[in-house]
Amino acid sequence: MSKCVIGIVGGIGCGKSAISRGFHDRGATLIDADRIAHAAHGDPLVREMIFSRWPIVRNDDDTVNRRNLGAIVFADVMELRVLESMVFPWINAEIRRQLSESAANSQALWTVLDAAIMLETGWSHVCDQILFVHAPRAIRAERVRSRGWTAAELNRRERMQWPLTRKAAVASGAIDNSGSLNDLEPQLAAWMREWNLPETRHSLGVQSE
C-alpha cells in the first residue's frame, strides 16, 4: 500500500515550515524543498550555469550568493524563469528520490512535502492531500521582516506565485497559523485524525544534503 504524502502550501510568511516541523515531530518524514534548493545551488553543474548567467553572484569561496541572486531574479520574471530552468530539474529529481527512499523505508509511515511553489511547478501531483496554511497579511509581513524584506519585497515575490485564493481553492484543507505554536497543536492533531495518519514521535527525516 502506498504511503500518504501531504503537501504544505500557503502565502509567503504564513509559517509553512512550522506546520511541516509539527507534522515531522509527530512521525512524518519531511521533504523540505527549500533545503533541496539550497543543495541544488551547490551542485557543480547547476552552480556553473548560475555563474555563467550571473557572474556577480559568485562568492569568493565559489558558492552562490543567494541574496544577490534573489535580488536579480525577483526583480525580473524572465530572469526568474531562466533560474528555474536551471534548478527545477535537479529539485524535481531530488524530491522524487527522497519520496522513493521514504516509500522503501518501513519506518517511514507517511510523508510531508514542504514546497512553497509546488502548485506552480506541478510537484503537487505526488501529494495525496494538500494543506493550505494561512495567516493575515500583517502577520506575514511582520514575519518576513526578520529576513530583511520590506513590504515591497513581499509584494514583488508574491506576484511570482499563484494568488492565495487559487492555492486555497485547490487545497484539501486549511490550517490557521496566525497564533502561537501552541495554537497549532489541536489543528495538527485534527488533520491527522481526518486523514488517518499515524503518530509515532519517532520520525525519520529524509535529508537533502
Strand (E) or helix (H) holding 31: strand 29-32
DSSP SS3 for 184: helix
Non-local (6+) Cβ contacts of 176 within 8 A are 134, 135, 183, 187
Residue 201, pLDDT score:
63
Query: Domain residue spans in the chain?
Result: 5-194
Tell me the whole-structure pTM to 2 decimals.
Answer: 0.88
The grid cell for 40 is: 541544488
- For the chain, 209 residues long, the average pLDDT of each consecutive 10-residue run is 88 95 94 94 96 97 94 93 96 95 91 94 94 95 90 89 95 95 92 92 45
- Beta strand 111-114 with 129-134 is unpaired
Q: Cα(174)–Cα(198) distance, rounded to whole angstroms?
A: 19
Q: Cα(162)–Cα(9) distance, rounded to whole angstroms?
A: 11
CATH of 5-194 among 3.40.50.1000, 3.40.190.10, 3.20.20.140, 3.40.50.300: 3.40.50.300
